[in-house]
Chain A
């Protein structure tokens, strides 16, 4: 994982209550257990048993339910952790991340969800573009303006675009790129003929429209301004055409939906029979006007470019191929997939790329999906980073932190092999060498919490690491006033562990250390051996792991037999040692003003406190096993 070791992830409990497919029950009844014998599914589909299963952090699905703890929210009404999957979001405002101007909601759609001012991103490298002048004569900024990228030195000059004014660039750009007949574009085309001949915008219907000399039949393509050239224009032409057709073929004139349905009707036998008469044919594919008086014509298809029909030129593709092969194109002259992703689908060359107006961002409030209570509500102003409501999970669930336990050189009784006091390198853990970790849970609630940890003794997956939590059940104090601790520590003698951790030995059943609102327990991990590399390693390390060798070697032999199989190769991140830990916390909380609706599932202890519990899977990333 990209996070530095050690780390902790929390699996949102919503993953267990999987989506109830209304038809799934029925289906499973019809065909029970159709799992193929060759490859069993990563997770069996029986929903009822999922609760009982050990969470597997390596299952492909767990990537979608694991979240860093700081990204989770907590619903105070459901008493449950809420991940981005179990909340609904409402947009509060739209703003440009570049200029921080807020866009009113009525304008967002018409501006295409992008900044309408001068904020542009570089089409080549996505860095923000700045408006600069071409001629800087003695400080007075005048003359043509361009957008230029400070990172990759791309400018709009590369695609032959200059702006007359330094303001309202987006409108200027739209004018130049969408209306081919405007003078601006003509000058642009002119300027291109002087400069880079091979840089048309592919908005034009075909490449060879642009290349001078490659117009075989000019009379075929007259400079008719009404012929749509851009995608948008073609779309508009098609839309207008269909609208006309619908209006012309609808008898009532108020029924706009007839166009699709009239011909999908199943009494088509009749119609298909009659299609063999020639007039009907004409009515369909030509413009049958003669009989239009007596009956409304059938809808026809678009027949001319004005109506949106586009017939590609026969040599348009070979023109592209020639351009691809030309010396000044090359790999860098062709746009990458990433660059093309927000451009017109026809953009193929780097010269076809247009500067992209910055995508707007939103501020959203978040609600619990099940009870609709607001979990997060930021301030409306884009520039403000404050929140009105923010129920983050970390203020409710204990924060888990880990660090390796550095053993003193003297304690060689329990672990004879570890003689160094140096911290183990978590990025390269030695297989089969035990390490001890200190797991600290810090409580942020104002109630003391009782924690029960559970972990499978062997981690799931092929790399079986052994895990032991030395003290799985413990209490954490309340997050009381900081002064309490200070006062307590003044009176009570300070814990020896703070000052001299080396004197302690991890003991089963005992808490390692404890503070005002935190408790530390020891986790002992024996990293498993990686498949494939096992044989060589085992020979080297055999003196270290005398006890384990017998059963491990069997496994190693098993793997070595299939080493040709690619499925047996080490998968990405399979060498990461991740421990699923089931955390169950119980606490008595003060009864809220609202009477609890039984969600908290508590029998009231005393008059005003209610027993609550919360359980979830946590994944502790310890380190990467050395191969």
Chain B
């Protein structure tokens, strides 16, 4: 908007044309906006590989959270799920299973679709959505438009399955896709953030800058591995060390329950010890996994932190032993920050947002923040490590006797409000002279001091979010139209293949014609020039 204005302020000869066009376009989008304002409140689904959250726009929490476990996949009329805890259930023997097999029935999809039966996924989605509408949403399915919050990486066959199921089963007029990282950012009240999604299969660290994903890193250290590790721990507890092989003999539900209730994490490697020293020797009793109804087993409270330390933070493993896809969370966050441009990094590091199931484990957030702080203190923002590097730095330091020690995390902190100097730390930039006085900069600084709330930048800070679902609910209730809005008829014609992919072409067109046309474009999910025939998958394309 300021752009639009500044353009017109510069008043090139095209200005009237620009205004005309943009007015036209905004008029068009307004009309489309007003048509859907009379519609019913949109329904928002957040779909992950384990849970479906559903609710209405403008509400702060989803109406329900539905899982995709084996209990939900039973036949109609099979009521064995209700026998839980009764004698009939005790009879069924617990089977040994490898960790992957053990957790497999509980996830809706795997990223490796090769051995995923997409038909089964469709069946599960259909049933969950139908029951969600009938039990919790209590409106007629398919009347209001649907907003789907999805992870930013989702295989196309899967996306196609989801959309096809929804469109062909019900009469949704349109489905809007929203990105969960950006939604979590919005729900934190931010524009830029580092979203740490400790999800089921993967922990995804996404840097969102101005509502756009600019960097993503992933690690398999996430809840699935954690629950499996919990399963191993409990299996060991019950069977002793005699358990042969990598098998789990306790029930998944029990382990998940155990993990969600009792797993915790030391807030930091060193300092947390003394703070929580009094509780580390405490013992807690948990129901015995073999006979949850009656008997209990005692565990030291400090034992309950072991799976978390081992899985999420790769305790007792050297960095060199870790593969790229299994970096511990703190390193993952750090690496993502390092890969960002300094400006973005400065903004993002003070806006770390945690979402996903793992974020509920007490202590994990603080631990990540603390460890990242430690890494920054130790290495600065340089990805270069090693003895030789250290020696070289030392040599350089020795050469320049007058220079202060290389700036590190502390100086980054000091530079909170001088973001233009572009040195967040790091050895290379540190050598630039910092003392040069820029009169314009000073003037701007003065002007800014008068008016501005200082921008929090360059310090590690966590911001709480209401979650991706709430973000989508917020966005939708503000009548912001999604970038990816798939209309029913168009999808049913060609499926995903109908989506426009040539974004560059669109850009060029837009630039030639009109710089602003992208703005209403985006909103309506249409391409330049009001070409209503095409739609796009944007980031999912």
- Asked if A61 is an interface residue, CB under 8 A from chain B, the answer is yes
Q: Which residue of A lies closest to B369 (CB)?
A: A314
Instruction: Tell me whether A308 and B479 are in contact in the complex, defined as CB-CB below 8 angstroms, given that A254-B30, A278-B419, A330-B285 are known contacts.
Output: no
Nearest 5 Cβ contacts at the A-B interface: A23-B495, A302-B189, A22-B495, A286-B452, A235-B60
Between-chain CB contacts (< 8 Å), 13 pairs: A19-B169, A23-B494, A41-B117, A68-B76, A108-B138, A236-B60, A249-B2, A264-B211, A267-B507, A278-B448, A281-B419, A295-B6, A362-B138
A43 to B453, CA, bound (A): 61
Is B450's CB within 8 Å of the partner chain A? yes
Contact indicator B189/A307 (Cβ below 8 Å): yes
> What 1/0 mask marks residues of chain B from 497 to 539 whose CB sits below 8 Å from any chain A CB?
1100001000100110001001111110000000000000000
Interface assignment of B9: CB less than 8 Å from any CB of chain A: yes
Say whether A238 faces chain B, with CB atoms less than 8 Å apart.
yes
Given contacts A21-B495, A264-B483, A331-B285, contact A255 B455 (CB under 8 A): no
Asked if B261 and A334 sit within 8 Å, CB to CB, the answer is yes
Q: Is the CB of B4 within 8 A of A246?
A: no
Taking beta carbons and an 8 Å cutoff, which residues of A are in contact with B? Answer: 1-3, 9, 18-24, 26-27, 34, 36, 38-39, 41-43, 45, 60-61, 63-68, 71, 84-85, 88-91, 94, 108-109, 112-113, 231-232, 234-236, 238-239, 241-243, 246, 249-252, 254-268, 270-271, 275-279, 281-290, 294-303, 307-312, 314, 317-318, 320-322, 324-327, 330-331, 334-337, 340-342, 344-345, 348, 359-360, 362, 364, 566-567, 569-570, 572
Q: Distance (Å) between the CB of B293 and the closest chain A CB? A: 13
Chain B, 66-85, contact with A by CB distance < 8 Å: what is the 0/1 string?
A: 00000001111111100100
Interchain CB contact under 8 A, B190 and A318: no
Residues of B280-303 whose CB lies within 8 A of A: 282, 284-287, 296, 301
Minimum CB distance partner of A30 in chain B: B497
Of B83, B124, B463, which is within 8 A of A309 by CB? B463
Q: Is the CB of A63 within 8 A of B75?
A: yes
State which of A61, A89, A255, A322 has its C-beta within 8 Å of the C-beta of B26. A255
CB distance from A272 to the nearest CB of B (A): 9
Which residues on B sit within 8 Å (CB–CB) of A61? 117, 119-120, 123
Which of A39, A112, A318 has a CB less than 8 Å from the CB of B115?
A39
Cβ of B1 under 8 Å from chain A: yes
List the A side residues contacting B6 at CB < 8 Å. Answer: 295
Contact (A297, B2) CB under 8 Å given A19-B164, A243-B478, A286-B448? yes
B394 at the interface (CB under 8 A from A): no
- A94 CA to B73 CA, complexed, in Å: 27
CA distance A252 to B8 in the complex (A): 14
Residue B5 is within 8 A (CB to CB) of chain A in the complex: yes
Q: Which residue of B lies closest to A341 (CB)?
A: B65
Not counting A22-B164, A239-B477, A294-B9, a sample of 9 additional A-B residue pairs whose C-beta atoms are within 8 angstroms of each other reads A2-B78, A22-B495, A235-B473, A251-B1, A301-B192, A312-B462, A322-B279, A337-B257, A341-B64
Provide the B208-229 mask, 1 if CB < 8 A to any CB of A, else 0.
0011100000000000000000
Per a CB cutoff under 8 Å, which of B30, B76, B451 touches A286?
B451
CA distance in complex: A243, B480 (Å): 11
Which residues of A have CB within 8 Å of B61? 231, 344-345
Structural contact, A85 and B169, CB atoms closer than 8 A: yes
Taking the closest CB of chain A, its distance from the CB of B19, in whole angstroms, is 10
Q: Once the chains bind, are B366 and A63 in contact (CB under 8 Å)?
A: no
Q: How far is the CA of A367 from the CA of B352 in the complex (A)?
A: 49
Q: Which residue of A lies closest to B244 (CB)?
A: A564
Taking the closest CB of chain B, its distance from the CB of A15, in whole angstroms, is 8
Residue of B nearest to A565 (CB): B98
Chain B residues with Cβ under 8 A from A2's Cβ?
77-80, 83
Taking the nearest CB of chain B, how far is it from the CB of A177, in angstroms?
A: 13
Rounded to whole angstroms, the CA-CA distance of A67 and B74 in the bound complex is 11
CB-nearest residue of chain B relative to A262?
Answer: B1
Residues of B within 8 A of A325 (CB): 279, 282, 284, 301
The answer on a CB contact under 8 Å between B284 and A266 is: no
**CB interface residues, B 407-427, toward A, < 8 Å:** 419-420
The answer on a CB contact under 8 Å between A1 and B78 is yes
A264 touches B212 (CB 8 A): yes
**Given A266-B518, A331-B261, A42:B2 Cβ within 8 A:** no
A297 to B73, CA, bound (A): 52
- B272 — which chain A residues lie within 8 A by C-beta? 318
| Chain A, Cβ-Cβ closest to B481 | A257
In-complex Cβ contact of A320 among B190, B362, B463, B518 (8 A): B362
Contacts of B347 in A (CB 8 A): 285
- Docked-complex contact A24 and B160, CB < 8 angstroms: yes
Query: Cβ of B92: which chain A residues have Cβ within 8 Å of it?
Result: 572
Count how many pairs of residues, one from A and one from B, have CB atoms less than 8 Å apart in the complex.
369
A90 in contact with B515 (CB, 8 Å): no
Asked whether B496 is an interface residue with its Cβ less than 8 Å from the other chain, the reply is yes
A109-B41, A234-B60, A321-B264 known; A264 vs B522 contact (CB < 8 Å): yes
A38 to B3, CA, bound (A): 56
Number of interface residues of B (CB under 8 A): 152
Determine whether B493 belongs to the interface, using a CB cutoff of 8 Å to chain A: yes
A282 to chain B, nearest CB (A): 4
In the assembled complex, the CB of A367 is this many whole angstroms from the nearest CB of chain B, namely: 11
Which of A249, A289, A310, A567 is in CB contact (< 8 Å) with B463?
A310
Contact B519 A258 (CB under 8 A): yes
User: B107 at the A/B interface (Cβ < 8 Å)?
Assistant: no
Whether A311 and B461, one on each chain, are in contact in the complex, defined by CB atoms closer than 8 angstroms, is: yes
Please measure, in the bound complex, the distance between the C-alpha atom of A265 and the C-alpha atom of B503, giving whole angstroms.
12
Q: Are A242 and B478 in contact (CB under 8 A)?
A: yes
Cβ of B363 < 8 Å from any Cβ of A? yes
Task: Kindly provide the distance from the CB of A239 to the nearest chain B CB, expressed in whole angstroms.
Answer: 6
Q: Which of A84, A241, A262 contacts B3 (CB 8 A)?
A: A262
Contacting chain A: which of B319-327, B377-385, B439-447? Answer: B439-447
CB of A317 within 8 A of CB of B366, answer: yes
The complex places the Cα of A71 from the Cα of B264 at a distance, in Å, of 46
- Taking a contact as CB atoms under 8 Å apart, the answer to whether B301 and A113 are in contact is no
Cα-based distance from A204 to B118 in the complex (angstroms): 43
| Bound Cα distance A270, B462 (Å) | 30
Chain A nearest CB from B339 CB (Å) reads 17
A contact residues around B523 at 8 Å (CB): 257-258, 260-261
In the assembled complex, the CB of A92 is this many whole angstroms from the nearest CB of chain B, namely 10
User: Which residues of the partner chain B approach A567 to less than 8 Å between Cβ atoms?
Assistant: 101
Minimum distance in angstroms from B530 CB to a CB of chain A: 15
Indicate whether B330 reaches chain A with its CB closer than 8 angstroms.
no
CA distance A564 to B215 in the complex (A): 44
Contact (Cβ within 8 A) B139 A91: yes
CA distance A113 to B83 in the complex (A): 28
Decide yes or no: A337 and B260 within 8 Å by CB, A63-B74, A108-B138 being known contacts: yes
CA distance A216 to B46 in the complex (A): 38
Measured in the bound complex, the distance between the Cα atoms of B262 and A38 in whole Å is 39
Given the contacts A3-B77, A249-B1, A321 and B363 also touching, CB distance less than 8 Å: yes
- With A64-B73, A71-B76, A235-B60 given, is the CB distance from A22 to B101 under 8 Å? no
Contact partner of B1 (CB less than 8 A), chosen from A258, A336, A345, is: A258
Q: In the complex, what's the smallest C-beta–C-beta distance from A425 to chain B, in angstroms?
A: 15
Tell me whether B362 and A317 are in contact (CB under 8 A): yes
Q: Given A91-B138, A271-B3, verify A261-B30 contact (CB < 8 Å).
A: no
- Judging by beta carbons under 8 Å apart, are A345 and B467 in contact? yes
| Complex CA distance for A326 and B122, rounded to whole angstroms | 45
Please report the C-alpha to C-alpha distance between residue A343 and residue B192 in the assembled complex, in whole angstroms: 29
**A553, chain B: closest CB distance, angstroms:** 26
Kindly state the separation between the CA atoms of A362 and B139 in the bound complex, as whole angstroms: 9
Q: Are A85 and B126 in contact (CB under 8 A)?
A: yes
In the complex, residue of chain B having the shortest beta-carbon distance to the beta carbon of A298: B2
Which residue among A3, A21, A71, A249 has the maximum number of chain B CB atoms within 10 Å of its CB?
Answer: A21
Contact A336 B261 (CB under 8 A): yes
- Which one of A84, A94, A265, A277 lies within 8 Å of B138 (CB-CB)? A94
Chain B residues with CB under 8 Å of A322's CB are: 276, 279
Is A286 in contact with B454, judged by CB distance below 8 angstroms? yes
Q: A3-B78, A266-B518, A286-B453 are in contact. Are A278 and B134 (CB under 8 A)?
A: no
Q: For B56, B75, B114, which residue has the most chain A Cβ atoms within 10 angstroms? A: B75
